[in-house]
């Protein structure tokens, strides 16, 4: 089975961008956000269980999950949030394991916005935190998603701070400059990981 390297960072810190740069260097990646969406797709067991627990009103007309509606319900009620998590978390964990096992590269990047918050860092050989200032984070997300500053702030409130991630991670990737600079930094970190893991 591959060596798992965890990649984390706050909203808009550049996780997807960094994962693509690693992909170019032959390192496959598995993104927990993608998996969280996949497990509630139509036809999945998880979606059936959510309908059993929350009722058919939680589906849109085409039979897919009304994610925004569900988010509103569980945001206001801790017991319901726990209920939802008891359905989705095991499914996400199982699929994550399956996807990592099916990767062919020696190193696999586990891309997770809440890597430390969920304790999934314990499954990783090393962890990488992307470091950006709050200001840059807000600017980039507002530009990408057309979000308000308030919306971005609300999401950041549910995540560790930049400083807390820096303290926990084995490696830091500064993503405060341009894409070319980031690309060089990823290349250097990849080299370092390869020599540490004796993969050269």
Closest C-alpha among 174, 101, 75, 186 to residue 131: 174
User: H-type helices in 108-161, by residue range?
Assistant: 134-145, 149-156
- What spatial distance separates the first Cα and last Cα of the chain, rounded to whole Å? 18
* 15 contacts ligand ATP (rule: CB under 6 A): yes
User: By the 8 A CB rule, do 27 and 131 touch?
Assistant: no
| Residue 10 to residue 86: CA distance in whole angstroms | 24
Site pattern 27..56 for ligand ATP (x: CB under 6 A): ------------------------------
Identify which range of 41-49, 59-67, 72-80, 175-183 contacts ligand ATP by CB under 6 A: 175-183
User: By the 8 A CB rule, do 148 and 41 touch?
Assistant: no
* Residue with smaller CB distance to ligand ATP, 183 or 194: 183
CA 112 to chain centre: 3
Which three-class secondary structure state does DSSP give residue 120?
helix
* 178 contacts ligand ATP (rule: CB under 6 A): yes
Residues 121-140 interacting with ligand ATP (rule: CB under 6 A):
140
* 11 contacts ligand ATP (rule: CB under 6 A): yes
According to the annotation, is 16 in a ligand binding site?
A: yes
Among 88, 120, 121, 175, binds ligand ATP (CB under 6 A): 175
According to the annotation, is 14 in a ligand binding site?
A: yes
According to the annotation, is 17 in a ligand binding site?
A: yes
Under the rule (CB under 6 A), what is the footprint of ligand ATP?
Answer: 9, 11-17, 113, 140, 144, 175, 178-179, 182
């Amino acid at each position: 089975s591959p060596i798992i390297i965890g990649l984390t960072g706050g909203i808009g810190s550049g996780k997807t961008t960094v994962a693509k740069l690693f992909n170019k260097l032959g390192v496959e990646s598995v993104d927990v956000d993608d998996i969280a969406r996949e497990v509630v797709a139509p036809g999945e067991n998880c979606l059936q269980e959510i309908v059993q627990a929350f009722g058919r009103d939680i589906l849109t007309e085409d039979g897919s999950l009304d994610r925004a509606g569900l988010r509103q319900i569980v945001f206001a009620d801790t017991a319901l949030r726990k209920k939802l998590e008891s359905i989705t978390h095991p499914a996400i964990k199982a699929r994550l394991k399956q996807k990592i096992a099916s990767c062919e590269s020696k190193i696999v990047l586990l891309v997770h916005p809440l890597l430390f918050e969920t304790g999934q860092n314990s499954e990783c050989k090393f962890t990488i935190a992307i470091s950006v200032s709050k200001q840059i984070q807000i600017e980039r997300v507002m530009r990408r998603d057309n979000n308000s500053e308030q919306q971005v702030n609300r999401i950041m409130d549910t995540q560790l701070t930049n400083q807390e991630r820096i303290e926990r991670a084995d490696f830091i990737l500064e993503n405060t400059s341009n894409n070319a600079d980031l690309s060089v930094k990823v290349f250097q970190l990849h080299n370092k990981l390869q020599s540490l893991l004796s993969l050269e």
